[in-house]
Structure 1
Amino acid sequence: MSDLQISLVIIGAVIIVGVVIFNRIQLARYHRKVQNVFRHEHDDVLLNDERKPVFGSGRIEPQFGDEAPSIPDAAVGSANTPVDRQIADDQPAKEPGVQRKTAGIDSMINYIADIRASSPIPHEKLIDLLQQKFDYGKPVRWFGLQEGQSWEEISLDTLSPRNTYIQLKGCLQLADRSGPVTEINLSRFRDMAEDFSAQVQAEVECPDISEAHARAIDLDKFCADVDVIMGINIISKDGGAFVGTKIRALAEASGFRLESDGVFKYRDSETNEVMFSLGNFESAPFLPANMRTLTTHGITFLLDVPRVANGERVFDQMAHIARLFSSTLNGILVDDNRVPLSENGVKRSRQRLADIQSNMAVRNIAAGSETALNLFD
């Protein structure tokens, strides 16, 4: 190889290294710039309106039209439903609508079999009980009480031979997002609790099946009325496509993390619960392996209304980030029908969210509470 060829190879290598370094510097500057943009809070006059709860009729679906659906009066009827909760003594009283910390034994959403023994229940019997396949169509949880102690949830993972439980509560959830528990499954659960009590020579108290099923249907109706996911979509103004690398950079700079289900999640720093999410408007999920080559004509922000505490504040935060994405990506906010979403439309959606969460508070099921998270899992 001649000196000229060697010189050309060296010059080419230097140029390539220089381009790589320049691109990394530019990318770092871009990340810092985006992060600084998202770090600042901005008041939005259109979103900071006073809340005026309105209750009407009809089930709500996620939409951004001019008519704001309302909440049925029937959902308010059970506001005074008694709740069997064990409140932690060291928890201060909170404002109405904010659920206090509980032991998880909640008769509002559970059918509870109360088993009382005169002596500690044998450890082997507890293992047999917890090893059963509880196929009742809804979640089942068990709680135990040791003499002189507080109620605690028990499972095969937490059970120890040192535990001496004298009382158990078996909780079958009355409803979830798939509907109410059936009367047959309620009867099967009661029969199982009665059989176990006979084996350990304990007394058992089980609520009436017909009444419990009626409660399950009423609870499911309420859940259907408030089970709403609100979304904000962004599509390109000129019909072009958004690049996956840019979407990911914006998302991570604003606090999202890409998770295994192909959706960016924005989680609460204290509870780790999802506050809102960012997904692809098209069918393809966001996966780490394809973000470099992915392009899409739209993205969607989603907020699961009954699962999020302080919904108005969280909605404001989501809408603010959506506007920043829209500006950076040269996009436009639209509804599910690709109709441009005005500020008044965003404002109405925020008010609708406030009405839903107010109605949940009246029912003593605060949005984002343990009860709500179990119901809307």
Structure 2
Amino acid sequence: MSLQLALIVLGAVAIVIVVIFSYSNQRGHLFSRVVSFRIPITFLNTLKSWIRLPRMFFSGGLKSALISAIDFRLDPDPNKLPDAPEDKKAQRPINLRQHRAYTRKINKEFQRILKLDYWARLSGPELAQSHDVLAIYRTHEVDLIHPHRIHGLIYPGNEWVDLEDSGPSDRFYDLIVSAQIVDKNGAISESELTRTNNLVYELSEQLNRKLQFDMTTEDALDEAKLLDKFCKQYDVLVIFNIVAGKGQQFLGKDLNRLAAISHMTVDNIGMLRLLDPETNEIWFTMANQFEPGVLPIEKLEDFSTTGLFLFMSVPLVSQPIDALEKMYSVAQFMSLELSGTMQTPDGADIDTHEMEKIRQQVITITDVFHRVGILPGSEAALRLF
């Protein structure tokens, strides 16, 4: 409903109310007629909600600590400040970028196990030698872009082995050529699937082996499209900002001390991270809130900043809830010790109520990963994300 029409209707309703009120006063039965006001008042409240509705759509959406990882980057974006000197670029907050917030979607497509690979099995009466197979394979694999592999059922062990790890004299019963249908750059193309088929046909012809494809090229393209959609929708980061108060700064010597207490270590690019003590899996990372995000570890005593942020990748940790709880605990500890405030990327304070909402979102995402057969932190997840 347009604003102009809404105002006209409001005016008409107001006139009706005045008439009813005057009539009731004249008759001396005001209280007995209060019930008659329920209909226009209910209508008035409904109309009020209609008028407010457009504002809800333009309010910028709900604030969230979960964002899409697709366009997330830590290094400076030259497109944003093309003429700024390097020292100015380095002070640009990473949060000024327009990151897409994760929004929960009810998607009926992700209700089954998703396939990661397009493959073909080659079987024959004679054993194939590793050297001969790889000579053909390596001639054609140069045309392939997405990750691809060739495995063989080794003789006499009866075990599937990656031929790239085999010896030149190893022999195999059956062979399987596979191509990953989605990677970080997107879905496989029909052209690349055709080149994969050409490789398989060449192996079949030269090694005198029968072919069995897992699915048709058309089915593989459909599966790749669905898997790519899943990866884009559920490649999610959880981010907690720690922001200094007005006129305050976080000193490097304090960061160094608190990181040591929290058992955080330095990675190879100058960021602090917390590892799972049993598996060495990265639970989460802490970085400077200003581009390029790195902390000058060797000169940390002389460093200061007004903001930090901690982030974890939901697909890349095997126990997302445990990692989230640990990140929240460390962020709470850091913000308390540094007299800072813990916030979402768009500035909303993170309290226990907000944390519970974040936790439920991560549980929902984790459930979807289990439903499609790609467990967070698994080999399959590491291949895709």
Residue of 73, 88, 109 corresponding to 2:116: 109
TM score, norm. by length of structure 1: 0.69
Judge conservation of contact 1:72–1:225 (CA < 8 Å) in 2. no
Structure 2 residue 291 is matched with structure 1 residue 283: yes
Secondary structure at the counterpart of residue 272 of structure 1:
coil
Aligned residue number for residue 357 of structure 1: 366
Structure 2 residue 186 is matched with structure 1 residue 152: no
- Corresponding residue pairs, total: 286
Residue of 173, 177, 182 corresponding to 1:166: 173
Judge conservation of contact 1:69–1:352 (CA < 8 Å) in 2. no
Structure 2 gaps, min length 5: 1-64, 69-100
Aligned residue number for residue 256 of structure 2: 248
Secondary structure at the counterpart of residue 144 of structure 1:
strand
Alignment of 1:319-358 (within 5 A): 319-358=328-367
CA distance in 2, matches of 1:246, 1:77: 48
CA gap of 1:373–1:149, structure 2 versus 1, over 3 A, is same
Aligned residue number for residue 125 of structure 1: 132
1:229-275: CA deviations, max 9, x gaps?
Answer: 11111011234222233323322332221111222222223332212
Judge conservation of contact 2:181–2:188 (CA < 8 Å) in 1. yes
Residue of 198, 201, 206 corresponding to 1:194: 201
Judge conservation of contact 1:130–1:155 (CA < 8 Å) in 2. no
CA distance in 2, matches of 1:61, 1:68: 5
1:261-305: CA deviations, max 9, x gaps?
Answer: 222222223332212111121113124334333322211111111
Aligned residue number for residue 8 of structure 2: none
Residue of 257, 265, 271 corresponding to 2:279: 271
Secondary structure at the counterpart of residue 122 of structure 2:
strand
CA distance in 2, matches of 1:255, 1:131: 45
Alignment of 1:1-377 (within 5 A): 62=67, 69-79=103-113, 108-129=115-136, 131-132=138-139, 133-156=141-164, 158-206=165-213, 207-284=215-292, 285-376=294-385
CA gap of 1:263–1:126, structure 2 versus 1, over 3 A, is farther
CA distance in 1, matches of 2:301, 2:143: 43
CA distance in 1, matches of 2:103, 2:124: 51
CA distance in 1, matches of 2:109, 2:329: 32
Judge conservation of contact 2:137–2:203 (CA < 8 Å) in 1. no
CA RMSD of aligned residues (A): 2.4
CA distance in 2, matches of 1:169, 1:235: 53
CA gap of 1:265–1:125, structure 2 versus 1, over 3 A, is farther
CA distance in 1, matches of 2:341, 2:378: 34
CA gap of 1:125–1:148, structure 2 versus 1, over 3 A, is closer
Residue type of the alignment partner of 1:117? G
Secondary structure at the counterpart of residue 232 of structure 2:
helix
Measure how far apart 1:342 and its partner are: 2.8
CA distance in 2, matches of 1:322, 1:135: 47
CA gap of 1:328–1:358, structure 2 versus 1, over 3 A, is same
Secondary structure at the counterpart of residue 161 of structure 1:
coil
CA gap of 1:150–1:244, structure 2 versus 1, over 3 A, is farther
Residue type of the alignment partner of 1:254? S
Residue type of the alignment partner of 1:323? Q
CA gap of 1:117–1:245, structure 2 versus 1, over 3 A, is farther
Judge conservation of contact 1:68–1:352 (CA < 8 Å) in 2. no
Measure how far apart 1:155 and its partner are: 4.9
Residue type of the alignment partner of 2:133? L
CA gap of 1:196–1:130, structure 2 versus 1, over 3 A, is closer
CA distance in 1, matches of 2:360, 2:120: 40
CA gap of 1:243–1:125, structure 2 versus 1, over 3 A, is farther
CA gap of 1:226–1:124, structure 2 versus 1, over 3 A, is same
Residue type of the alignment partner of 2:151? F
Larger relative contact order (CA 8 Å, sep ≥ 6): 1
Judge conservation of contact 2:154–2:161 (CA < 8 Å) in 1. no
Secondary structure at the counterpart of residue 73 of structure 1:
coil
* Deviates most, 189-198 or 236-245: 236-245
Measure how far apart 1:160 and its partner are: 0.8
- The percentage of counterpart residues that share the same residue type is 22
